[in-house]
Amino acid sequence: MAGTISVWEEHLFWLEILQDHAIFVRDHLSVEERNAISTAEGFNQSFQSLLTRLKQLNPSLSYSSGEMVSFAQQAYPTVYEYFRYEGHLQNLRIKNDINLNLSPTYLNGTLNENQEYLRLLSYFLKAEQPVSLSLDQLLDLWLEDQLGHIILLRNLADPIELTVERQSDLYAQRFQMFILQNHHVKGFLRFTEQGFPRQKELALEVGRTVIEMNQYIRSIVEKYMGKRVLNKTALRFLEHHFPETCYFIKKLAEFAPELQSESVHCSLRKPSFG
């Protein structure tokens, strides 16, 4: 890990993301699913408790400090149990055994993110600096996330919003292209070293597209807040995109220095829920 994001910031980012995930599950369950709703709300409260504890710690503490190791020990069980909970929901959703208005593929994305935090926690628990994801692994995780965000935006817009639909489709096509390119790059890496020029160019192309799409989504959120776009979603769901995009750009800038300026100025917090 190159140190662009401190261990305290890693915890803050991931816990707020997982708290959002728990809220989204709660809000997309039918009122008939009382037990599942209660469990989701319980996780929401658990993540909030962890965030409260985290904010009592000095943000400059290192991953090897006793306080940070202790915090990782506190966080791990909740993060792991939430991973199991979402996995159970996904299994039920695949079998149509639960009234949950989220798709199995949506839950794949949230489970992938949860799994990455669990990977980081496995190092923090041992007071070790985490091994960074390679570029192809980083793209595997976050390209799918970005594609999911733009597809969700398209699907959450009212049918009258044809401009949103068409612009979203254009971005979706670009991210599908990047996913395919990264798939082939992983094949090249069997006999070619990490960071070869075309792979670095892919990182830069992805970063610039992510920044461009982020500005587009920001414009949609501004219209949402001005009640100028018809939709079927909530502000938290829309703003969830911003911290994840910032995190991706910060990590991507380690491979594409041209993105450093953007990575320094973006925020790992949601604008309206920080």
The pLDDT value recorded for residue 1 is 40
The length of the chain, given as a count of residues: 274
Q: Residue 208 has which token pair?
A: 């610039």
Statement: residue 80 has pLDDT above 70 = yes
Output the pTM of the full model. 0.97
State mean pLDDT over 205-216.
Answer: 98
Q: What is the pLDDT of residues 26-76, one digit of tens each?
A: 999 999 999 999 999 999 999 999 999 999 999 999 999 999 999 999 999
User: How many angstroms separate the CA atoms of 248 and 211, rounded?
Assistant: 10
What residue type is 49 in one-letter code?
S
Distance CA(109)–CA(21), nearest Å, equals 10
Residue 112: band (very low, low, confident or very high) from pLDDT cuts 50, 70, 90: very high
CB 230 within 8 A of CB 116: no
Cα 108 to Cα 237: distance, rounded to the nearest angstrom: 17
The secondary structure of 185-252 as a DSSP string is HHHHTTTS-TT-HHHHHHHHHHHHHHHHHHHHHHHHHHHHHTT-S-BS--HHHHHTHHHHHHHHHHHH
